[in-house]
Structure formats: structure tokens, C-alpha cells
């Protein structure tokens, strides 16, 4: 046994000098790559440090801390709850300021963590790739957080901090449009889940053959409405239709030994998307003159005396909203609040215009699956060929581009 071990050792030490040389070259090459990674990391840490400091300075941390102290003093007053509405408003403002201060503090902490890793690496005899990877992950996540913080700075609307209600309606295009509406439903649900919002489909009307006629999604979370408000409009898809002339989904029909594939048609379809704020019950008070509203009710087919649905029309807008559920009044109130806010903001011109028309010439974004792959926002010009990621909920670039576009338009109007 010992002789065998000695033989193997001799073979390793003396029989293959080329192998030893290869190992030395490989080790040297790995060390060089590690050094390059370290230099790149150090530059990235310096850049992220400057960016975080600029954002912290522009956010006015000292002013926020003074605002927090004033709000806490107000909340501690013995008469604070005499006016519940104002008290709730103050508590919300208090939470916002606390969250913002914590976020700005976290930015500094994460930068310091990355800087510590750089200093440790400089003092070590050899580079620890595990530490480099940890620092790289810190920088990646911090960049995402800084991007999101910058976006929130562009949100200043009265309901931008609220959750969101998305209503999707199939438009022109028949069964293809209903399938397209279903694809949009999945896209927004995936986006909400990735943002860690509480996302749920509260209402869905299935299509006759496939897809959906309409659906409503609720997303609970800060700034959901602000981020998604730019999604309101008509969304157009161009693709090879997976349906035949009768509206049946493309499928392979097994006829014993033969497979038959339905013809594929090129199709353009549309779906409309409405976005409203998801408001807490205490903020749902709005007064609209009775002469501005028309309300009609539907009775059940079996129980004639039972009301099963209602329809609301706001005169002058041509906008109709219906609901078949008891809790349907909540999104109706939310929509009325948005309309009322728009009317207050401009006495002559409506800011958001009429209801979404899911038809040709009205689209805000085109999704082309065939003959090439491209998603392009008509308003901002932002586009990407990665249509798979977009349909999987990667909407951040489009949201960011629209918010910047909206902000620049606001500035130009002011000037």
C-alpha cells in the first residue's frame, strides 16, 4: 500500500513537469483576471458613491429630518384626533418622511459596505473573489434602488403615492383581441409581483372562445398608481394569429396517423387599459352634482326584484362605467375622484381626455411579434426588441421613459 502511494507521488512530481507549468500559468492568469475585476469594482464603487451622495444632497436630508420632528410633535398633541381626516393625512405624511429618511440612510450604509470590501481587498495578499462578488451585488441592487428613488421624485400628483386599479378591455380584433387582453393581464400581474406589490385579479370576464373580454387588477403598494398611470391607453399587437377564421385556437389535430395544423393569419389587435388610484375608504368622499350623472340599474333574469348591476354615465365625458359586484362602488368612486381632480386642474381643457378607445390610431404602444420583434412606445420613442421580457413584466424602462417625458412636458408648459 505504501509503495503504491510512493509511486503515485513520484509520478506526480517527476513524470509530468508540463502539468506543473500549466498549473502555474493558469494560476497566474486567474490572478490577473481577479485584479482586473478588482479595478473595475473599485471604479464602480467610486461612481456609485458619488451618485448616492448627489441624490442624498438633492433630497434635502436635513430638511426631511426637520419635517419629521415637526410632524411627530403634531402627532403628539392632545387634540390630534379631534379631526380624524387631518390626523390620517398627517400620519401618512409622517410615514412618507420616515420611509424617505430610512431609504437615504440605507443608501449611505450600502455604499460604506462596498467601500469596506474594497479596502479589505487592498490589504489582502490575494484577492477573494467571493468578496468581489458580494460587493458587485451590493452595487447592482443599490443602482436599482437609486433608479427607483429618482423615479419617485418625478411623482407629484395627488394620488401618485396610492395603489393602483388596472382595467383591461379587449378592443378591435375579435378573439385575437381577447387573447391579447389576457396577455396584458398576465404582463401587469407579473410586473406587480416583481415590485412586491400585493397583486390580485378582482374581476375577470372570459372570452367566448379564448382569452378575456375584460379584467380588473388591484395592486396595493406605495406609488403603484404613479408608476402605472402612464399605461392608460390603447395597446396594439401585431403578430401571426394563433386562431383560424372561426376564432379557434391554433392546435394540432391528431387524425390517427396525420397531424393537421390550422392556417396562421397575420393579425393586428387592440386592447384598452384604464388606470385608477386604489384609495382607502376614508379618502373616498367626492361631491358631483346629480345633474352631471346618469345612473341605471339592471335586474336579475330570475329574481326580477333583485338589482344585479349598475351603470354610471358622467354627462359631458361620454364615459360609462359598469359593475356587477357589490364592491364595484369603490373603483367607481376612485374614477370619479380622478375626473374631479382633472376638472379642478383645468377649467377649460380636460387633462386626460376621453375614455380609452381600443382601436386603430389610438395606440400608445405597439407590440410587434411578426415579422420582427419590437415593443415601441409611441409617446416617448423608447423601444426594445426584447419582447419576451416585456411580456414577462419588465416594464421599468417604459415607465421611466414616460415619467421623464411627462416631467419634461410639464416643465416646457411652465416655461
Clarify whether residues 145 and 184 are in a common domain. no
Please identify, among 152, 182, 201, the residue that sits at the C-terminal boundary of a domain: 152
Please identify, among 132, 152, 172, the residue that sits at the C-terminal boundary of a domain: 152
What's residue 92's pLDDT?
A: 85
Spatial separation of the C-alpha atoms in residues 44 and 381, rounded to whole Å:
30
- Domain limits at 134? 21-152
Please report, for the domain that includes residue 72, its CATH number: 1.20.58.410
Contact between residue 220 and residue 197 where contact means Cβ atoms under 8 Å apart: yes
What's residue 287's pLDDT?
A: 60
Residue 406 forms part of a structural domain:
yes
For residue 202, give the nearest of 177, 168, 231 by alpha carbon.
168
Spatial separation of the C-alpha atoms in residues 54 and 404, rounded to whole Å:
19
Domain count, the chain: 2
Residue 253 forms part of a structural domain:
no
Clarify whether residues 172 and 104 are in a common domain. no
Residue 27 forms part of a structural domain:
yes
Clarify whether residues 105 and 199 are in a common domain. no
Please identify, among 152, 185, 219, the residue that sits at the C-terminal boundary of a domain: 152
Clarify whether residues 177 and 133 are in a common domain. no
Confidence (pTM):
0.68
Residue 335 forms part of a structural domain:
yes
Residue 158 forms part of a structural domain:
no
Residue 146 forms part of a structural domain:
yes
Residue 130 forms part of a structural domain:
yes
Clarify whether residues 167 and 107 are in a common domain. no
The burial class, CB within 10 Å (0-12 / 13-18 / 19+), for 274 is buried
Clarify whether residues 124 and 208 are in a common domain. no
Clarify whether residues 65 and 182 are in a common domain. no
Clarify whether residues 143 and 178 are in a common domain. no
Residue 122 forms part of a structural domain:
yes
Spatial separation of the C-alpha atoms in residues 212 and 231, rounded to whole Å:
19
Clarify whether residues 203 and 99 are in a common domain. no
**Which set of grid coordinates corresponds to residue 280?**
382607502
Spatial separation of the C-alpha atoms in residues 217 and 184, rounded to whole Å:
11
Please report, for the domain that includes residue 171, its CATH number: 3.30.70.1660
Clarify whether residues 388 and 356 are in a common domain. yes
Clarify whether residues 136 and 284 are in a common domain. no
What's residue 373's pLDDT?
A: 97
User: For every one of its 415 residues, what pLDDT tens digit does the chain have, with 9 covering 90 and above?
Assistant: 444 444 444 434 444 555 554 444 444 455 566 677 788 889 999 999 999 999 999 888 889 999 999 999 999 999 999 998 899 889 988 998 999 999 999 999 999 999 999 898 888 877 788 888 898 999 999 998 999 898 888 898 888 989 999 999 999 778 999 999 999 999 999 999 999 999 999 999 999 889 999 999 999 998 999 999 999 999 999 999 888 654 444 444 444 333 434 344 578 999 999 999 987 765 555 566 666 666 666 665 555 565 556 566 655 555 545 555 555 556 666 666 666 666 554 433 433 445 566 555 678 999 999 999 999 999 999 999 999 999 999 999 999 999 999 988 887 777 6
Clarify whether residues 148 and 190 are in a common domain. no
Amino acid at each position: 500500500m505504501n509503495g503504491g502511494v510512493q509511486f503515485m507521488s513520484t509520478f506526480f512530481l517527476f513524470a509530468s513537469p508540463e502539468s506543473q507549468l500549466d498549473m502555474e500559468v493558469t494560476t497566474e492568469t486567474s490572478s490577473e483576471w481577479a485584479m482586473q475585476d478588482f479595478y473595475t469594482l473599485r471604479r464602480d464603487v467610486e461612481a456609485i458613491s458619488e451618485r448616492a451622495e448627489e441624490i442624498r444632497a438633492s433630497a434635502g436630508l436635513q430638511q426631511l429630518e426637520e419635517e419629521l420632528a415637526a410632524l411627530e410633535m403634531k402627532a403628539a398633541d392632545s387634540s390630534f384626533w379631534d379631526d380624524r381626516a387631518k390626523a390620517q393625512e398627517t400620519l401618512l405624511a409622517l410615514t412618507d418622511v420616515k420611509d424617505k429618511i430610512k431609504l437615504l440612510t440605507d443608501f449611505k450604509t450600502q455604499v460604506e459596505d462596498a467601500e469596506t470590501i474594497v479596502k479589505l481587498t487592498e490589504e489582502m495578499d490575494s484577492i477573494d473573489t467571493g468578496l468581489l462578488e458580494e460587493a458587485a451585488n451590493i452595487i447592482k441592487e443599490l443602482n436599482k434602488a437609486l433608479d427607483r428613488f429618482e423615479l419617485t421624485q418625478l411623482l407629484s400628483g395627488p394620488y401618485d403615492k396610492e395603489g393602483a386599479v388596472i382595467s383591461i378591455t379587449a378592443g378591435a380584433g375579435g378573439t385575437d383581441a381577447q387573447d391579447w387582453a389576457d396577455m396584458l393581464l398576465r404582463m401587469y400581474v407579473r410586473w406587480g409581483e416583481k415590485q412586491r406589490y400585493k397583486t390580485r385579479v378582482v374581476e375577470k370576464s372570459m372570452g367566448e372562445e379564448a382569452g378575456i373580454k375584460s379584467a380588473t387588477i388591484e395592486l396595493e403598494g406605495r406609488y403603484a398608481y404613479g408608476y402605472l398611470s402612464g399605461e392608460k391607453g390603447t395597446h396594439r399587437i401585431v403578430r401571426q394569429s394563433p386562431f383560424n377564421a372561426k376564432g379557434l385556437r391554433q392546435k394540432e389535430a391528431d387524425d390517427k396517423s396525420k397531424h393537421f395544423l390550422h392556417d396562421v393569419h397575420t393579425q393586428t389587435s387592440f386592447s384598452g387599459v384604464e388606470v385608477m388610484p386604489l384609495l382607502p375608504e376614508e379618502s373616498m368622499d367626492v361631491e358631483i352634482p346629480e345633474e352631471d350623472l346618469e345612473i341605471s340599474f339592471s335586474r336579475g333574469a330570475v329574481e326580477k326584484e333583485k338589482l344585479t348591476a349598475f351603470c354610471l354615465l358622467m354627462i359631458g365625458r361620454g364615459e360609462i362605467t359598469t359593475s356587477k359586484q357589490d364592491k364595484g362602488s369603490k373603483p367607481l368612486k376612485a374614477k370619479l375622484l380622478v375626473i374631479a381632480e382633472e376638472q379642478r386642474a383645468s377649467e377649460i381643457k380636460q387633462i386626460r381626455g376621453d375614455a380609452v378607445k381600443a382601436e386603430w390610431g389610438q395606440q400608445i404602444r405597439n407590440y410587434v411579434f411578426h415579422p420582427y420583434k419590437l415593443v415601441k412606445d409611441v409617446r416617448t420613442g423608447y423601444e426594445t426588441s426584447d419582447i419576451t421580457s416585456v411580456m414577462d413584466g419588465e416594464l421599468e424602462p417604459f415607465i421611466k421613459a414616460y415619467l421623464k417625458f411627462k416631467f419634461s412636458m410639464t416643465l416646457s408648459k411652465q416655461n
